Amino acid sequence: MGAMSSVPRLFVTHDLVAGQPVLLDEKQGKYLTRVMRLESGAPVRVFNGRDGEWHGHLRQESSKKVSIVADEQTRKQVATPDLTLLFAPLKKTRTDFVVEKACELGVRRIQPVMTERTQASRVRSDRLQAVVIEAAEQTERMDIPTVADDVSFFESLERWDPAIPLYYCDEAGDAAPMADVLAGAGSIAAGLLIGPEGGFSPAERQKLRSLDFVVPVTLGPRILRAETAVVSALTLWQSSVGDWSEHPYLAEKASS
Amino acid sequence: MGAMSSVPRLFVTHDLVAGQPVLLDEKQGKYLTRVMRLESGAPVRVFNGRDGEWHGHLRQESSKKVSIVADEQTRKQVATPDLTLLFAPLKKTRTDFVVEKACELGVRRIQPVMTERTQASRVRSDRLQAVVIEAAEQTERMDIPTVADDVSFFESLERWDPAIPLYYCDEAGDAAPMADVLAGAGSIAAGLLIGPEGGFSPAERQKLRSLDFVVPVTLGPRILRAETAVVSALTLWQSSVGDWSEHPYLAEKASS
């Protein structure tokens, strides 16, 4: 789809202050100098999820030490919509795909949920953290979604704030189309729960049906795979309730 | 997401008539008897894109010959919305992914378009045909989208019916959110054009901007990868203009 800019964009955990060098870890440093072949003075972009986006430049401190010097803030920090994805882990590459797309589509929190029919073993949230950092760097996002450790299905529901609607895709036949449900949504926070390939078990289904904050929705007449349902449902929420109706450059112009 | 039924579902090209056996090709026959381990009499579902969906059973004619006997029509034929996806081919697995998702999300036609910055070599539409057949079998779709041979960007626009809107995702900054544009859409037919990773060239952009039937839209403040943009844009169209607001089982009940 064409990047906004070909200047490399990097997530760091340090505070960003004009003129202050930020020492990169070895892996990031190597990537910029060995893979990207950047030299001292090369322009880079950095963000940390708190201080907006900065234009800066690379500084080779020694053969193994590479810093970024932040020169100027170019975008203000903006909050990602208050959207949480709860999903039953799939096989490794498909779990990575789901997490990457959740980051691109602007969720704030990602919560793996182990259901009765979840085939995958437990996920390593540290590995998924690396996936979301890379996705955030490439998608012009200003922050990184959190990736929680996996919890059981029933625990995830017990922990859920009942004031916030939790949408789940139900193929049983009597749920309303998601767009119609969202058109009447009063809340600007939400959760989306995507079940495993084998569907929820009868006990899980019964639990979902018994909770007032859980809202069943449908995603059309065809059966979507889990990863497609994630992208489709996040798209509808962002488009209807989230930040897709605000254009960032217009918004930034208006606020400056 | 849980299949509607665990009975195998098969696309065939033959006419479907009650009691009439349909001889499968060797590959399909082998799949059912060797991989799925089905024996004579095992229930199967079949569809051909014309005669609805049928429940039937397997009949082993000889050691190498396997037929399906259609017993009863269980779903009427329904038309897939009049939606065409034009996309610039990506690397092989990502092209397969786009084509699979387009089938799941209910497009009628898939048209690969070679743009100036398309990195991929020409696509083999016969290989993609196999991808859409498998996706249609799994997604409970009643037909198979057509996959055309690739054409050049400019030719694809020359061939386009100017009475039908062709949406394309434009990050230049002044396009309206896709959901807003679709809310005012008068046409029930549409095309969606997704460009290559490197974006359209200046000449291509200028051409798009000059055509009245081409409608630029945005998909939110983050940069989406090409395959994400395909799923998101198809979702918004199906949800707003297409068939996601009609539930197939309710619709079938109403018409029977």
Closest Cα in chain B to A243: B220
Q: How far apart are the CA of B15 and the nearest CA of chain A, in angstroms?
A: 23
Q: For the residues B127-145, what does the mean pLDDT come to?
A: 93
A residues 174-203 lying closer than 8 A (beta carbon) to B: 177-180, 194-195, 197-200
A residues 132-151 lying closer than 8 A (beta carbon) to B: 138-141
Taking CB atoms and an 8 Å cutoff, what residues of chain B touch A106?
Answer: 220-222
Q: Please tell me whether residue A157 adopts helix, strand or coil conformation.
A: helix
Please give the domain boundaries of chain A with CATH numbers for all domains: 3-75 (2.40.240.20), 83-240 (3.40.1280.10)
Q: How far apart are CA A81 and CA B197, in angstroms?
A: 26
Closest Cα in chain B to A219: B244
B222:A141 CB<8 A? yes
Q: How far apart are the CA of A61 and the nearest CA of chain B, in angstroms?
A: 33
A105:B232 CB<8 A? yes
Mode of pairing for the β-strands spanning B66-75 and B21-23: antiparallel
A121 reaches B (C-beta below 8 A): no
Please enumerate in sequence order all residues whose Cβ is within 8 A of that of B55, keeping only pairs 6 or more positions apart, or say none.
B7, B43, B44, B45, B70, B71, B72, B74
Q: For the residues B34-55, what does the mean pLDDT come to?
A: 94
A106 reaches B (C-beta below 8 A): yes
For residue A116, the 8-state DSSP code is T
From first to last of its 256 residues, what are the pLDDT tens digits of chain A?
Answer: 444 457 899 999 999 999 999 999 998 899 999 988 999 999 999 999 999 999 999 999 988 899 999 999 999 999 999 999 999 998 888 899 999 999 999 999 999 999 999 877 778 888 899 999 999 999 989 999 999 999 999 999 999 999 999 999 887 668 899 999 998 887 789 999 999 988 899 999 999 999 999 999 999 989 899 999 999 999 999 999 998 876 443 444 444 3
B226-240 helix and A226-240 helix, angle to the nearest 10 degrees:
70
Q: Supply the pLDDT for residue B6.
A: 79
Question: Considering only B7-11, B52-56, B183-187, which range has the smallest mean pLDDT?
Answer: B183-187
Q: Supply the pLDDT for residue A5.
A: 58
Distances in Å between the Cα of B76 and the Cα atoms of A117, B68, B141, B253, B254 are 32, 19, 12, 11, 12
* Residue appearing with tokens 């039908």: B164
How sure is the predictor about B114, in pLDDT bands with cuts at 50, 70 and 90? very high
Q: Please tell me whether residue A216 adopts helix, strand or coil conformation.
A: strand
Taking CB atoms and an 8 Å cutoff, what residues of chain B touch A239?
Answer: 177-179, 220, 236
Q: Supply the pLDDT for residue B57.
A: 96
Quick check: ipTM above 0.90?
A: no
* Structure-token pair, residue B225: 């990868």
Q: How far apart are the CA of A234 and the nearest CA of chain B, in angstroms?
A: 9
A98 reaches B (C-beta below 8 A): no
Give pTM, 2 decimals.
0.90
Q: Please tell me whether residue A126 adopts helix, strand or coil conformation.
A: helix
Strand partners, B147: B110
* B156 phi/psi in degrees, rounded to 5: -60, -35
Q: Supply the pLDDT for residue A173.
A: 67
* C-alpha neighbours within 13 Å on the C-beta side of residue B228: 25
B residues 9-68 lying closer than 8 A (beta carbon) to A: none
Quick one: CA dihedral A196, A170, A228, B125, positive or negative?
positive
* Structure-token pair, residue A242: 């989230």
